[in-house]
Structure 1
């Protein structure tokens, strides 16, 4: 009997320890920490505001408006600046100072700020830009921008960025970068931009600037 008791005790000690759950009960799924908008605002003011505006509405045409942008998209861009997947020496320097938590806080704070509308400036090109944005160019197999970025430029959260009201100069620069390969963090955009000429890029960018 003593031998049997010893064997049972040894087996119990060797058995892996699992938490006990009642019938039908499942382990709790770890919850993701919510973004801290107070910290996000502080980090944005310290790191981002000088170039992108105090509320994310950049007044500098070369720098993008970040307000009301999808936070998942902003986090992805910051991570890719930091890793070097998206090549920009200035942004790499700033992004390298941020943790993933910082990025999340900043992105959700910027997303919470309303975007100020922009304006088209070239009446001669805006009609062409609208045709390309809404319908693409079928005979050259150029897809409509609206298919991914939505007819009003709101984009699709976590997948495609908001474009509505973005500075035309910034959009032109990004399309050129996709076209020449210096920005290579989106295969879809590289393929689209490769088929656009300078006039078409300018037209689309100007239309986007006034889109709302």
Structure 2
């Protein structure tokens, strides 16, 4: 019961700490037209490309989250040489349209490539680690990994390599555009735990 109360309290804290930014409206058709330039990395269906698992799936992602990330790439709050260049050409309306377009697409199911690691990651995802102060991932991303709008993204089915890369960036402090929640959590995680959680979330759907 104590652990469940801790998870609930942390979930409430997540929602309080993050300002409610919504990607409202948006034109899916216009977003599709703009998203043509995204297909090389994110796939024609938004589910990424097999040649590089470091590029994320965007299909089915929370639109407000995608919208914010595009704004952050454009402003430099989140750094990536490819995405910064792509976002530079987009207006706020374009970003909203692209976000709702990708959100409208169906996410393809993923799979863990290492079942042992995934089993370890599942324990952290659902229960955290009281010894190191790592909170359960599902507190902010939901028990099925579908995310909690507007800021906590869908993580289920995401490429494990991409998830691992982002968690390591949060741990190192090289990514800090989403407040300090993920920075604090990832900092307490070992690289082994990060790999495990990434594997588990890849097969979560």
Pairwise TM-score range, normalised by the shorter structure = 0.7 to 0.9
User: Greater RCO between the two (CA within 8 Å, min separation 6)?
Assistant: 2
Question: 1 CA distance for matches of 2:57 and 2:169?
Answer: 18
Per-residue CA deviation, residues 75-118 of structure 1 (Å, 9 max, x unaligned), is 00000000000011111000000000000000001000010000
> In structure 1, the residue corresponding to 2:131 is in which secondary structure?
helix
Corresponding pairs, count:
180
**Which segments of 5 or more consecutive residues in structure 2 lack a partner in the other structure?**
1-22
Find the structure with the greater CA-based Rg. Answer: 1
TM-score w.r.t. the length of structure 2 is 0.86
Per-residue CA deviation, residues 146-201 of structure 1 (Å, 9 max, x unaligned), is 00000100010112000000000000000000011111112100000001111100
User: Which stretches of structure 1, 4 residues or longer, exceed 2 Å deviation after superposition?
Assistant: none
Question: 2 CA distance for matches of 1:143 and 1:172?
Answer: 17
Per-residue CA deviation, residues 127-159 of structure 1 (Å, 9 max, x unaligned), is 110000000001111100000000100010112
Question: 2 CA distance for matches of 1:82 and 1:139?
Answer: 39
Question: 1 CA distance for matches of 2:151 and 2:81?
Answer: 25
Please tell me whether residue 92 in structure 1 is matched to residue 96 in structure 2.
Answer: no
**Which segments of 5 or more consecutive residues in structure 1 lack a partner in the other structure?**
1-31
1:143 corresponds in structure 2 to 135
1:179 corresponds in structure 2 to 171
TM-score w.r.t. the length of structure 1 is 0.83
